[in-house]
Amino acid sequence: MSSSPAGEWASRLASRSQTARIAIVGGGLAGLNAAYQLQKVGLPATLYEAKARVGGRIQSRPGLVMPGLVNDLGAAFINSDHYDVLSLVQELGLELFDRRCLTETSPLPEMAFFFAGRRIDPAELAFTLAPLATQVAHDQQRLAENFDRYAPRLDALSVADYLDLHGQKMRQGYGRSLIEASIRTEYGVEADQASALQLLYNLPQVRGQRVDPLAADELFTVKGGSGLIPQRLAAHLGDGVQTGWRLQAVTQVGEGFQLRFTQGSVAADYVILALPFPALRRIDLQVPLPDGLRQFIQEGGPGRNEKLFAGFSQRPWLGANGFTGAAWSDMGYSGLWEDTQRQPEYPQGVLTFFLGGNEVPAADGGIQTQGQGFVDQLGIYLPDLGASVTHRYARTAWGQDPDFGGSYTNFRPGQYTRFRDFLYAEATPPGQGRGAQVGNLLFAGEQFSEAYYGYMNGAAQTGRLAAAALTQRLLAT
């Protein structure tokens, strides 16, 4: 009696697992999840990370500015449709904090808008943005109906071009300021450096008297910090994770590869490069890549975002004139939220001032001076803020690290449609169709996700899809 297809698959996989040499470079979420998914099907891989820690742009720090409170230095929020990250959280035994326990139960507004020297009433803002939101929704529908026809036209425009084209649909100047702020927070650039497609994907919505500047719901954070995700993954992988290994070159040898690290050389049959573009550009890739993929690596890049954390002995933003979710502003930082909502047992709190685009270099200087300036500005609208500030501040410096070079992916005008063929899409069968794969060399990272670039989920998703494609390729040999 012949064995079942599943049995044959398992048998072949077990046989190949004894001989296949799999190397993954990059200990961020993409690389870690690729190794984790391979481990689950019985394929051992060795993951090499240049730094002394794993996690990449996902890092949490307890006691950064206030004792006992945890702050996410990098990625923090999880959307309700981020299925890869949600699955990992469950599998790794982590807990989520649902932000709706505050935003849907408090009498305070979820969002606050500080523009043009005043606090804008949400109903007024909704009236201002309604015509533009209708236009954005219309163009989104056109994309859904005929992407190949409309996407190149819209991709050729910057967000600034699009807003100029439809300027008459914004009834007040602060409406444009809010849209520009959302581009800074989501893509880390000014509006003239972002493809108009990204505004449509952002999909600012007006529903009655409510304005949602972003399509993302950002419902969840991880209790204990998002940095627990890569830490737990690394623990599962054990000795399969090697830190302090910096890749210098990849040379193709037949169908395999020679990887040259600062510590020595490693031979591999299959390689997944799970690195941000700035790190990839520093590696000598002696591999026959398609011209488009090589251009994507050379020209693609992250935007600029940094966080400034301010500590408080109380949480006055949850009192009179406050808000429960986030605030938007034109006061030198585009976004603002409480980073310690998941720890309600503490009376103290930490606010995150989120900078993007030109706000980042404009805010260079002393952390204390910058932090106090932001607190003083916000204190105009929240009078009790000054009495609670502890004058403890901290600021990130992602853009100064050559391995990261910034925050997360932005597509400049014309880039999205030009490089889309190298983005992983969920509908693509494993090992076939679109994706960043060249023979036995695969790429992963949030910048290679069609639907979730810029998010932890993009990293996790591409790691999973790269692992699946590698598995299919291995079984086919």
CA–CA dist 148, 154 (Å, integer): 11
CB 245 within 8 A of CB 261: yes
pLDDT at 216: 84
Task: Please choose, from the candidates 346, 359, 349, 355, the residue with its C-alpha nearest in 3D space to the C-alpha of residue 385.
Answer: 349
| pLDDT bucket at 201, cuts 50 / 70 / 90 | confident
Give me the pLDDT at residue 6, please: 57
Q: Each residue of 272-306: pLDDT tens digit?
A: 999 999 999 999 999 999 999 999 999 998 999 99
Q: Tell me the domains of the chain and their CATH numbers.
A: 5-56+227-301+410-476 (3.50.50.60), 60-108+218-225+303-400 (3.90.660.10), 123-207 (1.10.405)
Q: Is the pLDDT of residue 248 over 50?
A: yes
Q: Mean of the pLDDT values across residues 91-116?
A: 94
Give the Cβ contact number of residue 390 at 10 Å.
Answer: 14
Q: Would residue 118 be called left, alpha or beta, if left means φ above 0 and alpha means ψ between -120 and 50 degrees?
A: beta
Tokens standing for 458?
């993009």
pLDDT at residue number 13: 67
DSSP 252-319: EETTEEEEEETTEEEEESEEEE---HHHHTTSEEES---HHHHHHHHH-EE--EEEEEEEESS-GGGS
Element at 29 (helix H, strand E): helix 29-40
pLDDT at residue 435, rounded to an integer: 74
pLDDT category of residue 210 using cuts at 50, 70 and 90 = confident
Residues 6+ apart with CB under 8 A from 457: 78, 79, 82, 83, 84, 85, 449
**pLDDT 10s digits, 315-367:** 999 998 999 999 999 999 999 999 999 999 999 999 999 999 999 998 788 99
The first and second tokens of residue 287, run together, are 């591999």
Query: Which tens digits make up the pLDDT trace of 374-427?
Result: 999 999 999 999 999 999 999 999 999 999 999 999 999 999 999 999 999 986
Looking at residue 1, its pLDDT comes to 45
CB 228 within 8 A of CB 222: yes
pTM, rounded to two decimals: 0.94
Cα–chain center distance at 296: 18
Q: Hey, what are 199's tokens?
A: 């505004």
C-alpha closest to that of 67 among 311, 336, 242: 311
Residue range 164-186: mean pLDDT, rounded: 93
Tell me: pLDDT of 431 over 50.
no
Q: Which helix (H) or strand (E) holds 62?
A: strand 60-62
